[in-house]
């Protein structure tokens, strides 16, 4: 009654397979997509740098063709062969070229450069100069801060060229503002991020659909097991994937085994009852005398008979409680018991009123339910003045049966004793004292409880909590 649905002793719900699969797929997808995004962005930036280097190489190749040397070794420049792009003539346009002459100490002594430098002298970093001189004939590249008031980075290429009639090489310099290229990389990164985000959502949606589809047979098994427990079917049937077929087969085997075990227990209980019935009857017949020994034998035989009946009923109830799919409609048995009690207590002219929720269904055998509520209603009918009310309600997982009477009630300190087996608080009323104890033990077998409380009618209220069968 108090257990969380889906949890029993020895088992606990720990997450969800679908949630685990979805979370694992989400984490792996994010890792893969982040790595793919980083790799694509790095590849695009690398391609951008390659394009920048190609443009700079073309400018340096043009400048190389346009330079030569005099017999004296002085550089000779052919203005007609220089790069003709308009940006080279516009101040700080972002495109630059220069011929730089270095001395024996690898320092720039003089040179000639494009008008885009204005009055700023091109000065590559010494490390780049040394690298270019160490790699004559090959262009080296690096990014530098913008020239003049232009703080934007430029891509710089530097190439050491050896001229005839000259011992020291000259440096050919070409620079290109990379802002436009960097903005393109940024736009690509943003677009790529959005695209990968949409792709991630699409992947997650697809994975969710795949998981739902893949786990559908498990949900089908769950629904059918619910029907088996509710008594709407007696086994799992249908077609299942190869991975689940052995599980379904084992479940059906377990269900059949459960039925056989319960049926065997019922048979043993019946055999035991028949086996004990004859010896007890013989003892009772042999104790018909009026002597003290006969009286003792009769009394002990009656006690043995009562105890045997009690424990046989309990054993039978325990076996019935284990039957899968047992369910009992409540309203009809209550009304039948009520009519019977009204006839039995016709001299008191009692009224038994029954109000039951149509959805209240007991998860157990009809015989046990009759035993449970029959004892409570019989007890109320014995002690009431004229009125007994029975009300049945259903909660999420339980059924509550409330039996009220307008009798003298029962003191709080006597209620626990009334639930003990064989205890009777008033010897003037007939009975063995087993009624309420049977209700307590039967309810306990089914996982229910019996409470004795004050009744609004003035007498005793018996509140019985039982498990409900699924709708």
> CB burial class (10 A; 0-12, 13-18, 19+) of residue 55?
middle
Arithmetic mean of pLDDT, 308-320:
60
User: Mean pLDDT in the chain?
Assistant: 82
pLDDT band at 14 (very low <50, low <70, confident <90, very high): low
pLDDT at 47: 92
Most confident of 96-110, 264-278, 282-296: 96-110
Q: What are the tens digits of pLDDT across the range 229-286?
A: 766 777 888 888 888 888 888 888 887 877 777 677 666 666 676 667 667 777 777 6
**Residue 405 or 325, more confident:** 405
Helix (H) or strand (E) holding 102: strand 95-102
Length of the chain: 471
**Residue 446 or 59, more confident:** 59
Does residue 4 have a pLDDT over 70?
Answer: no
pLDDT band at 123 (very low <50, low <70, confident <90, very high): confident
Q: What percent of the chain has pLDDT over 70?
A: 84
Arithmetic mean of pLDDT, 379-387:
91
Fold for domain 16-230?
Beta-Lactamase (3.30.450)
pLDDT at 150: 62
Nearest CA among 146, 167, 58 for reference residue 102: 167
Does residue 151 have a pLDDT over 90?
Answer: no
CATH class of 328-467: alpha beta
Distance of CA 97 to the CA centre of its chain: 65
**Residue 223 or 157, more confident:** 157
Arithmetic mean of pLDDT, 199-217:
88
pLDDT at 100: 92
Arithmetic mean of pLDDT, 220-233:
78
Q: What are the tens digits of pLDDT across the range 329-341?
A: 888 899 999 999 9
Domain ranges in the chain? Answer: 16-230, 245-321, 328-467
9-23, 125-139, 217-231, 323-337, range with the lowest pLDDT = 9-23
Arithmetic mean of pLDDT, 76-80:
87
**Residue 418 or 183, more confident:** 183
Does residue 311 have a pLDDT over 70?
Answer: no
Q: Is the pTM of this model over 0.75?
A: no
Arithmetic mean of pLDDT, 159-184:
88
Query: What's the Cα-to-Cα distance from 217 to each of 213, 261, 338, rounded to whole Å?
Result: 8, 29, 46
In this structure, how many other beta carbons lie within 10 angstroms of the beta carbon of residue 62?
A: 17
Helix (H) or strand (E) holding 463: strand 460-467
In whole angstroms, give the CA distance from residue 209 to residue 245: 23
Does residue 428 have a pLDDT over 70?
Answer: no
In whole angstroms, give the CA distance from residue 306 to residue 276: 12
> CB burial class (10 A; 0-12, 13-18, 19+) of residue 42?
exposed
pLDDT band at 9 (very low <50, low <70, confident <90, very high): low
Q: Helix (H, G, I), strand (E, B), or coil: what is residue 361?
A: strand
């Amino acid at each position: 009654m108090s257990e969380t649905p889906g949890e029993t002793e020895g088992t606990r719900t720990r997450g969800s397979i679908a949630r685990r699969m979805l979370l694992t797929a989400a984490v792996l997808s994010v890792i893969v997509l982040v790595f793919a995004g980083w790799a694509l962005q790095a590849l695009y930036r690398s391609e951008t740098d390659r394009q920048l280097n190609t443009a700079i190489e073309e400018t340096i190749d043009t400048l190389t063709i346009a330079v030569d040397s005099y017999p004296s070794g002085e550089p000779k420049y052919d203005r007609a062969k220089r790069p003709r792009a308009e940006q080279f003539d516009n101040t700080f346009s972002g495109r630059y070229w220069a011929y730089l002459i270095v001395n024996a100490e690898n320092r720039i002594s003089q040179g000639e450069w494009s008008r885009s430098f204005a009055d700023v002298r091109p000065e590559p970093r010494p490390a780049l100069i040394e690298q270019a001189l160490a790699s004559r004939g090959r262009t080296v590249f690096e990014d530098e801060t913008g020239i003049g008031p232009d703080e934007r980075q430029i891509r710089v290429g530097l190439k050491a060229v050896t001229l005839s009639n000259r011992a020291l090489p000259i440096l050919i310099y070409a620079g290109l503002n990379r802002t436009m290229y960097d903005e393109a990389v940024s736009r690509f990164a943003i677009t790529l991020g959005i695209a990968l985000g949409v792709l991630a959502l699409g992947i997650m949606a697809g994975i969710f659909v795949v998981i739902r589809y893949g786990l559908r047979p498990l949900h089908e098994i769950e629904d059918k097991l619910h029907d088996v427990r509710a008594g709407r079917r007696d086994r799992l049937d249908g077609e299942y994937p190869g991975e689940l077929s052995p599980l379904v087969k084992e479940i059906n085997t377990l269900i059949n085994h459960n039925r056989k075990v319960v049926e065997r227990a019922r048979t043993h209980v019946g055999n035991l009852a028949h086996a004990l019935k004859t010896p007890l009857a013989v003892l009772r017949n042999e104790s018909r005398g009026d002597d003290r020994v006969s009286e003792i034998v009769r009394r002990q035989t009656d006690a043995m008979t009562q105890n045997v009946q009690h424990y046989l009923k309990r054993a039978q109830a325990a076996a019935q409680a284990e039957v899968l799919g047992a369910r009992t409609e409540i309203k009809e048995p209550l009304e039948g018991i009520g009519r019977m009690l009204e006839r039995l207590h016709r001299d008191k002219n009692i009224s038994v009123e029954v109000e039951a929720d149509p959805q209240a269904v007991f998860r157990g055998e009809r015989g046990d339910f009759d035993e449970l509520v029959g004892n409570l209603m019989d007890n109320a009918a014995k002690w009431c003045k004229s009125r007994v009310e029975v009300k049945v309600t259903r909660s999420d997982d339980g059924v509550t049966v409330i039996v009220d009477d307008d009798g003298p009630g029962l003191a709080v300190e006597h209620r626990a004793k009334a639930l003990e087996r064989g205890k009777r608080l008033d010897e003037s009323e007939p009975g063995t004292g087993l009624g309420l104890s049977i209700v307590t033990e039967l309810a306990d077998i089914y996982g229910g409880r019996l409470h004795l409380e004050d009744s609004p009618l003035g007498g005793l209220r018996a509140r019985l909590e039982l498990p409900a069968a699924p709708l």
